[in-house]
Structures are given as structure tokens and as C-alpha cells.
Structure 1
Amino acid sequence: MKRKFTAILCFLLLFFGLFSSAQNKYEREYRIRKIQFPKKALGYIEEKLTNARRIRFYKETDSLKISYEAKFKKDRLWYSIEFNQEGDLEDIEILIGAVDIPDEAFNSLKTYLSQYFKKYRIRKIQQQYPFTEGEPPEVTIKNAFQNLMLPSINYELIVTGKKEKNFEQFEVLFDAEGNFKSIRKSLPPNYDHVLY
């Protein structure tokens, strides 16, 4: 009887351990050179980079996939364009402030955050233009660079929140109306390059 109980307990611990880590985001960004960036991806954004400043290219390793990201500043806005390994567009994000979100949507997402966390602080807000199948990537790129308020956009928030005892960092995704879509625990930035 004791062995059966121990076996069941071990199984449950493994099951819940795997389940709880499935929502974690183990993401690390590494800066790369322009020649290491996928050529297909560069073809999509080359003309947009002509008047851009502070252009940086990154390779991002996630717990599930590898992607590439171009970050730059253009027309006083910070852009981040993400591509998969093959160079296909995944999404475009623009760094925004709370005032850039419509009041009704912002109140809705604040209500969700206050119910989910005991305390929270919004660290970063990005307006996300996801690439949708059946639509040419050029349309998504055009919409993002015109900064259009479309019903298909998402808001991605980086939030430091306290659920139980400690504060942790989360990536929370909401739709254009402020309805909750997903949440993932994220690791703090990689500081391996810092020597002590």
C-alpha cells in the first residue's frame, strides 16, 4: 500500500511540475550581425530601414522555438519585427504608453490584472500586429508602420506581479478590446555578459 501511494505521489509531482513549467517563457536574446539575419526577412523590411536609427538584429531562443528580431527607431517610435527561422513574418510590435490604449480597453486589462495579482506594476506595453494567414506580409507591415488601430491588434504587457509571496515577471497578452488572451511567466533578462 505504501509503495502504491509513493508511486502515485511521484507521478502527480512530475505531472504538476511539467504542467506548471509549460507556462514559463525561457527566452534569451543574442545580438547578431546583419549578415546572420535571414535574407528573406531582410527583403521584407529593407526599405523601412532606410530612415531608421539604432538598428539592431537579434537571434531569440525560446523554450519552444528560435526566431529573429530586428529592432529600430523610426519616426519617434520603437519597432520590433519578429521572424521565424525561415524568415517568415510573425509579428510587429511598437512600444507604446498607457495613454495610447483606448480607455475602455485599458480599464478592462487593468481589471484583469488587479484580479490576477495582489500587487502589480506594468513595466512595458507593446502594440502588436500579428501576421495572419492568407494576408500578404506587406499588408501587416503597412498597417504597423501607419500605426492603425485595428480590431486584430494585441497589447503585450510585461508585468511584475505578486501572486503569493514573491514578485515575478509575466508577459500578458490582451486583444484590442482589452480581453485577456494569455499569460506566461518570463525570466529576467540575460546578464551573462556582465563580468564581476
Structure 2
Amino acid sequence: MKKIYVNLIFVSVFACCQLSSAQNKYEREFRIRKSQFPSAAHAIIDDNIVNAKRLKFYQENDSNKVSFRAKLKKDKLWYNIEFDKEGTLEKIEILINSTDIPNDTYSNIEHYLNTIFSNYRIIKLKQQYYSNNDTIEEIFKNAFQNLILPSIQYAIDVVGKKEKGNLDYEVQFDADGNFKKMRTTLPSNYDHVLY
């Protein structure tokens, strides 16, 4: 009888751990060769991007899916162009500074971060253009002109302190600075550092 209770407790703890980890989305990206990148995504990049510098290709694995990213620099801005495994465009991200966000939007974002965290540090700000109903050409045009549209979103990588301690988070906001969603992320990968 005692063995049954021990097994029941063990299964309960294991199930709770699995449920709590399912709320997080852990992703890792690693660099790949151009030949490993989806050919449909190559065609989209070749058709819509000229004069890009430092074009590099990455594969990103997370708990739900595999995606591919092309990272490049164009007109002094860093871009991440994300594709699914078939080569369909998902979104374009631009790395920005806090001064690139409208004042009212940024004050809404700061207010939310101040209420949710006792202390935080912003690591990275990204402006995102999603492929909703726009054509691929329109998405690239909007992103490369860095337009502030009602359909854009902001993703902010933050190290925030809550009651559990410091954790890494990605917090998403809409174009007006209203909270959309938040998830914990893994810290940066330092596998390339040799000791």
C-alpha cells in the first residue's frame, strides 16, 4: 500500500512539472549553410532584397516548430526575415532603439513593464511586420521603409525580476503599446565561447 502512495506522488509531481514547463516556449537558433535554407525562401529574398550586407542564414528550433531566419543589414538597420519550413514568409523584424517607438506607445510599454516587474533591463527591441493580408511585396516595402502602421507589433526581450528571481522574457505589444502576450525564454546561447 505504501508503494502505491509513493508511485502516486511521483506521478503527480512528474505531471505537474510537465504542465508547468509546457507554458514556456524554448527556442534555440544555429547558423546553417545557404544550401540548407528553403529554396522558396531564397527566391523571396532574391526577388525583394537588393544591396543587403552580411546576409546569414539560421535555423530555429523551439518546442512547437522549426523555422528559418535570414539575418541581414540594409540601410544601417538589422533585419530578421522569418520563414516556416516550407519557405513561406511569416514575419520581418527590425532591431530598433527606444527612440524609434512613438512616445505614447513607449510610455504604455514602460508602464506595463514597471507594473509586472520589480526590476527589469531591456535587452532588445524589435519592430515586427507580419504577413496578414498584405502581399509579400507590400510587407517588404513597409518593413524596409520602416513604416509605423497600426498592424505592426513590438517584441521586447527583457531580463525581469519577479518574486522567483531574474528570468528572461519576450513581451509582445501592439502598435499602441497594449500588452499582447509574454513568455519566458532561454538565456542567450554561449556555446561558441571557448574556455
TM-score scaled by length of structure 1: 0.90
Aligned to 1:136: 135
User: Identity across aligned pairs (percent)?
Assistant: 52
CA shift digits 1:44-73 (9 cap, x unpaired): 111444311111110111111100000011
C-alpha deviation, 1:191, in angstroms: 2.3
Aligned to 2:174: 175
How many matched pairs? 195
Equivalent residue letter for 1:135: D
74-83 or 5-14: bigger deviation:
5-14
31-40 or 119-128: bigger deviation:
31-40
Unpaired runs of at least 5, structure 1: none
C-alpha deviation, 1:7, in angstroms: 7.7
Residues 110 and 13 of structure 1: CA distance in aligned 2, closer, same or farther (over 3 Å):
farther
103-112 or 17-26: bigger deviation:
17-26
Kept in 2: contact 1:118–1:161 (CA 8 A): yes
Aligned to 2:76: 76
User: For the residues of structure 2 that align with 1:70 and 1:106, how far apart are their CA atoms?
Assistant: 28
Kept in 2: contact 1:113–1:120 (CA 8 A): yes
TM-score scaled by length of structure 2: 0.90
Residues 102 and 6 of structure 1: CA distance in aligned 2, closer, same or farther (over 3 Å):
farther
Residues 49 and 33 of structure 1: CA distance in aligned 2, closer, same or farther (over 3 Å):
farther
Aligned to 1:34: 34
Aligned to 2:107: 107
Find the residue that maps to 1:24 and give its secondary structure: coil
Residues 138 and 48 of structure 1: CA distance in aligned 2, closer, same or farther (over 3 Å):
closer
Kept in 1: contact 2:25–2:63 (CA 8 A): yes
Unpaired runs of at least 5, structure 2: none
C-alpha deviation, 1:24, in angstroms: 1.9
User: For the residues of structure 2 that align with 1:100 and 1:12, how far apart are their CA atoms?
Assistant: 48
